[in-house]
Amino acid sequence: MVADPIATNRCQALTRRALVPVLILFAIAVALTSGGRDVFADHTANILSVDGKIDTEKYPDGASFDRDALFALGPEKLETETHFTKGLQRFEGVRLSALLDAVGADGTILTASGLDGYSVDIPIGDATRFDVFLALKWNGAVMKVRNKGPVWIVYPISHFPEVNTEIFSARSVWQLKTLTVR
């Protein structure tokens, strides 16, 4: 049987097209890491942006926070179970309410968006009603992209059992990159 040159060329073209998404994902992974080091683990890299209805005199172009700036809002520790883990987990970070106060948030809804494109609307009232937490460390380790970091919205299930539902699970955005106040 003789190989069909047209079919062979089509097969090669399809193979190249199939590789494009893989190469794009590889390029993104390389961009997010540097020498095997998670770029977002750098304390000087901006890891969270807040925009929308915030204090525009103080933040005319929105607010950006690196890890140290977030911890400067009042570092706290939280021990709780989560929707996505087994057993009690230890987190270090800041309360969402502290961040919202710092940027002068003036809205009723937060749109939380992750690095993976996932986004969800969260009532701003959740921040104080349930002591919602922005986790930056998990069980003593700085959170990296590969383990739900650099920032993970954590609802403290152990303290508020009523948040142990799918609604609040959906609001527990990991790899958080942006909060938009509306």
Average pLDDT, the chain: 85
pLDDT of residue 45: 87
Specify the fold of 39-181: Sulfite Oxidase; Chain A, domain 2 (3.90.420)
What is the reported pLDDT for 30? Answer: 41
Nearest to 155 by CA among 147, 146, 165: 165
Q: Are the C-beta atoms of 128 and 24 separated by less than 8 Å?
A: no
| Secondary structure class of 83 (helix, strand, coil) | coil
The percentage of the chain sitting over the pLDDT mark of 70, rounded to a whole number, equals 76
44 and 34 Cβ atoms separated by less than 8 Å: no
Please determine, for residue 68, whether its predicted confidence score (pLDDT) is greater than 70. yes
- Evaluate if residue 13 carries a pLDDT over 70: no
Q: What's the whole-number mean pLDDT along residues 134-149?
A: 97
Burial of residue 83 (CB within 10 Å: 0-12, 13-18, 19+) is middle
Angle, CA of 150, 37 and 173, to the nearest 5°: 15
Cβ atoms within 10 Å, residue 103:
21
Query: 152 vs 6, which has greater pLDDT?
Result: 152
Q: How many CB atoms lie within 10 A of CB 63?
A: 21
Sketch the domain layout of the chain as residue ranges.
1-34, 39-181
pLDDT band of residue 3 (cuts 50, 70, 90) is low
Per DSSP, what are the bridge partners of residue 123? 109
pLDDT value, residue 123: 98
